[in-house]
Amino acid sequence: MPASFDDIAIGQVVTLGAAAVDSDALSAFVVAFTPGWTVDRGAPDAMVYAIWAKLDALAHTDWPQTKRLGVDALRWVRNPPAGELLRGRMTIMAKDPVGEGKGIVIAQHDLLDEAGRLVFSCLTRSVFAR
């Protein structure tokens, strides 16, 4: 990711990394957070969101992002099974400078399965330093 807001390009695609749906974590998540769900149905939507949130958090630790303003337009397409490797990517959709020191970046985030199929997507609005 570029060093500042001004270096970010609309249309730029950034890799967020990859994570597998761990079978032990899936079992524990289902017991703790999704009563009535069974692991044979794959990762529940909330776990898919948690996997994306973790990849996003790990990826943006070195970015000039100072605040997340919102996560919108969440879409769940499928529930990946245990063992499935999910890859995250972010595409810059728009950016708007706000004063001398910061700007807002709107991005689409996608989680894709091993076959390249969409599993989850959302839009984010974040503040980046200039």
pLDDT tens digits for range 83-119: 999 999 999 999 999 989 999 999 999 999 999 999 9
Instruction: Report DSSP letters for 58-109, one per residue.
Output: HHGGGSSEEEEEEEEEEEE---PPTT-EEEEEEEEEEEEEETTTEEEEEEEE
- Domain map (residue ranges) of the chain: 5-129
Read off the amino acid at residue 41.
R
Q: Considering the domain 5-129 in this protein, what is its CATH number?
A: 3.10.129.10
User: Which tokens is 91 given?
Assistant: 């595409």
Q: Residue 2: what pLDDT?
A: 67
- Cα atoms in the Cβ-side hemisphere of radius 13 Å centred on 62: 8
CA Rg value for the chain: 16
